Amino acid sequence: MARRSAVAWAAFGPLLWGCALGLQGGMLYPQESRSRERKELDGLWSFRADFSDNRRRGFEEQWYRRPLRESGPTLDMPVPSSFNDISQDWRLRHFVGWVWYEREVILPERWTQDLHTRVVLRIGSAHSYAIVWVNGVDTLEHEGGYLPFEADISNLVQVGPLPSRLRITIAINNTLTPTTLPPGTIQYMNDTSKYPKGYFVQNTYFDFFNYAGLQRSVLLYTTPTTYIDDITVTTGVEQDSGLVNYQISVKGSNLFELEARLLDAENKVVANGTGTQGQLKVPGASLWWPYLMHERPAYLYSLEIRGKGFDWPLLVKDFNLLRWLGANAFRTSHYPYAEEVLQMCDRHGIVVIDECPGVGLALPQFFNNVSLHHHMRVMEEVVRRDKNHPAVVMWSVANEPASHLESAGYYLKMVIAHTKALDPSRPVTFVSNSNYAADKGAPYVDVICLNSYYSWYHDYGHLELIQLQLATQFENWYKKYQKPIIQSEYGAETIAGFHQDPPLMFTEEYQKSLLEQYHLGLDQKRRKYVVGELIWNFADFMTEQSLTRVLGNKKGIFTRQRQPKSAAFLLRERYWKIANETRYPHSVAKSQCLENSPFT
Ligand code: BDP
C-alpha cells in the first residue's frame, strides 16, 4: 500500500488480523515508544550442550535451578548465532539434542517496581523446540524454529523489594522428527560391529545445514498494563486516495480511549481516527510499489537470499548486492526470515514470497494428522507475524513436498485453505518439483511455482536441451491449470574460479551458459503467463556433507563470502534490462529509463 502507511506501521509495529482462527493474541514487533522500552539481550550467553547418552542430564540435574556455571563448565556463546560453527569442537558442530543457554540481566528499577508496567520476554527464534525458565521458573515452551514467541514475565520480576537480577535459561532441542517442520528422522545404527552402542544419526530431507540455537535476537520489552496487543491493517485504493482499514485489539482493561495516527516518512500525521477500528483515508497517497517494477506486467526476477540467522552487516551487504543486481524479489526459502529482513524489504521495495519451513516433506509418513495440525499452526504464526508487511505478496506453504502422493494432496489442500482463511488478501502457493500430471496439490494454489534443473540433475552437460524441456514444462502446466507460473528455482553448481570453454559442468562458464539458455526459454513465455524467474541461488550456502556437495551448495551467483561469479554480471545485465522494459514498456527513451540503472 502507500509508502506513507508503510511508515505508519513503524509506529504501530507489525499489524495483524484478529486471527480468529487458532492463535490468541498478537506478535507485534517490539518498538520503543513513549510507553514502551526495549532491552536487547544480544551478546555473550553461557552455553552447554548436553552430551549425556540420553541427552537428558540437564533435566535430571535441573540445570535451570541454579546458574549454569554451577552445574559444570560453560562456553561463551554469542546470541544471535548458530552454535554449530562457533567452537573448534566437531562434536558441537554435529550435535543433536538439548543445548542450554543462560544469561543474567539487571533490570531497571522502574521495570520491577512500577506495577503499571508489563515486562515481556521475547525470543526471535529458537530452533527447534525450546523451554524457557526465568529465575528457575518454567515460563514458556515453543515448538518450531524461525518464528518468535514471548511471555509476560511481570509476575516473576515484580516480586517484592528489588529482585533486579534476572536469570534466563533456555533449553533448545534441534532434533527433527516426522512431526516437526521441517521433518526429519532419527536413525539408530544397531550393527555393533560398525557403530558404538546407542549410535544414531539425524536424517534430514532438505538441502541446507540444520544450523540451530538462538539465531535471532532475544529481548525484553515493556508495555503499560493496558496495552495494544494486536493491530490488523488491510489496505485499498480509491481514486488517488489510499485507504487503511485498521482493527486494534487492546488488552488489560476495557477502560481506554484510543486514537490512531498515521504518519508519513517525515513523521507527519497524514490521517487519524478514533476507536478500535476504522478507516484512514490518505488523499494523494504515493502507493507502495516494488522497486524496479512496472505496474503491468508485474514480473519478479530474483534469487533466494539468506535469512535463518540474523546479523546486520550481512543483511545490509545482501541488500546492496540485490540493488546492484537490479533484483526486485525473493522467496524466503525455506523458512521465514528474520523480521528485520522483511522490514528492509518494505523499505527498499523488494517483493517477498514468504515461505514457511515446510521443506523436506519427502516421505509418505510425514503427511500425518499431527504434522498437518502443526503445519497449520506454523502458518498461523507466519501470517500473524508477517501479514502487515507490504513487501509480502504471497504465502508459500511448502517447498518440493512429495506432492504426487494422494495423502500430500489432502494435506496441501488443508494447509492452503487454512492459510487463505487466515489471510484472504494474498495468493497462496507451494513450490513443486513434481510432474504436472501427477501433482496433487496444484489444484489448490493461486500461482504455480516450479523448480527444475534441466542439464544439471539429468542430461548432464546438454545445455542444448534446456529450451525444449523448459517450453514443454511451461506448456504442460499452463494447459492443465491456466494459472500464472513462476520458475521458482533453476541453476547449476559452480565452483568460483573454475573455468572451461567450451563450458563444462561446475565451471563459471557452464553456469552462465545454463542461465542464458533458461532465459531464452523464459523470454518466450514472459509476456504471457510466466510471471517470475528466481534463480537458485543468491549465494553459496552450507549443507550436510554428501558426495554431491563440495563444502556446501555452490549454486550461488555469489560465493558464501559474497563475491560475484561470472553469472552475477550476466544476471545484472538481464535484471536491469527487464527493469527498464517493464517500467517503461512503451518507450525506450533514455531520459525515461531508471536513473540509477547502470545499463541505460
Ligand atoms: C531444490 C531445493 C533446494 C536445493 C536445490 C539444489 O528446493 O533447497 O538446494 O534443489 O539441489 O530441489 O541445489
| Tally of CB atoms within 10 A around 410 | 14
- Residue 251, classed as helix, strand or coil, is strand
What grid cell was written down for 20?
A: 480468529
**Beta carbon of 207 within 6 Å of any ligand 1 atom:** yes
**Beta carbon of 536 within 6 Å of any ligand 1 atom:** yes
**Beta carbon of 489 within 6 Å of any ligand 1 atom:** yes
Annotation marks residue 400 as catalytic: yes
> What CATH number was assigned to the domain covering residues 6-19+230-282?
2.60.40.10
- Residue labelled with grid coordinates 514443454: 472
What grid cell was written down for 374?
A: 502443526
Ligand 1 center to 432 CA (angstroms): 11
Ligand 1 center to 160 CA (angstroms): 55
Domain positions in the chain are: 6-19+230-282, 42-174+210-216, 300-355+447-595
Tell which atom from ligand 1 comes closest to the C-alpha of 206. Answer: 8
Ligand 1 center to 400 CA (angstroms): 9
Cα→Cα distances 498→494, 504, 508, Å: 8, 9, 6
Q: What is the pLDDT of residue 161?
A: 66
Name the residue at shortest CA distance from atom 6 of ligand 1.
207
**Beta carbon of 304 within 6 Å of any ligand 1 atom:** no
Selected catalytic residue, list 355, 400, 508, 533: 400
| Strand pairing category for 351-355 and 392-399 | parallel
Tell which atom from ligand 1 comes closest to the C-alpha of 399. Answer: 7
Name the residue at shortest CA distance from atom 8 of ligand 1.
207
Tell which atom from ligand 1 comes closest to the C-alpha of 334. Answer: 8
**42-174+210-216 and 300-355+447-595: same fold?**
no
Q: Which amino acid is at 24?
A: Q
What grid cell was written down for 343?
A: 522490514
Question: pLDDT digit of tens for each residue in the chain (600 aa)?
Answer: 333 333 333 333 333 333 445 788 899 999 999 999 999 999 999 999 999 999 999 999 999 999 999 999 999 999 999 999 899 999 999 999 999 999 999 999 999 988 899 999 999 999 999 999 999 999 999 999 999 999 999 999 988 666 678 999 999 999 999 999 999 999 999 999 999 999 999 999 999 999 999 999 999 999 999 999 999 899 999 999 999 999 999 999 999 999 999 998 899 999 999 999 999 999 998 888 776 554 444 566 555 455 577 889 989 999 999 999 999 999 999 999 999 999 999 999 999 999 999 999 999 999 999 999 999 999 999 999 999 999 999 999 999 999 999 999 999 999 999 999 999 999 999 999 999 999 999 999 999 999 999 999 999 999 999 999 999 999 999 999 999 999 999 999 999 999 999 999 999 999 999 999 999 999 999 989 999 999 999 999 999 999 999 999 999 999 999 999 999 999 999 999 988 876 654 544 443 445 556 655
Q: What is the pLDDT of residue 11?
A: 31
By most ligand atoms within 8 Å of CB, the mutation choice from 205, 207, 432, 450 for ligand 1 is: 207
Q: What is the pLDDT of residue 597?
A: 60
Tell which atom from ligand 1 comes closest to the C-alpha of 431. Answer: 7
| Tally of CB atoms within 10 A around 530 | 24
CATH value of 42-174+210-216 in 1.10.620.20, 2.60.120.260, 3.30.70.2190, 1.10.287.180: 2.60.120.260
Tell which atom from ligand 1 comes closest to the C-alpha of 333. Answer: 8
Ligand 1 center to 346 CA (angstroms): 27
CA angle 250, 253, 255 (to 5 degrees): 100
Q: Tell me if the pTM is above 0.85.
A: yes
Name the residue at shortest CA distance from atom 9 of ligand 1.
207
Ligand 1 center to 537 CA (angstroms): 9
**Beta carbon of 553 within 6 Å of any ligand 1 atom:** yes
Ligand 1 center to 230 CA (angstroms): 36
- What is the distance between the alpha carbons of residues 577 and 591, in angstroms, rounded to a whole number? 15
- What is the distance between the alpha carbons of residues 457 and 472, in angstroms, rounded to a whole number? 17
Q: What is the pLDDT of residue 1?
A: 33
User: What residues contact residue 140 under an 8 Å CB cut-off, 6+ apart?
Assistant: 121, 123, 130, 131, 132, 149, 150, 151
Tell which atom from ligand 1 comes closest to the C-alpha of 433. Answer: 12
- Taking each continuous run of H as one helix and of E as one strand, the counts in the chain are 12, 25
Q: What is the pLDDT of residue 163?
A: 61
By most ligand atoms within 8 Å of CB, the mutation choice from 451, 554, 557 for ligand 1 is: 451
> What CATH number was assigned to the domain covering residues 300-355+447-595?
3.20.20.80
By most ligand atoms within 8 Å of CB, the mutation choice from 305, 553, 560 for ligand 1 is: 553
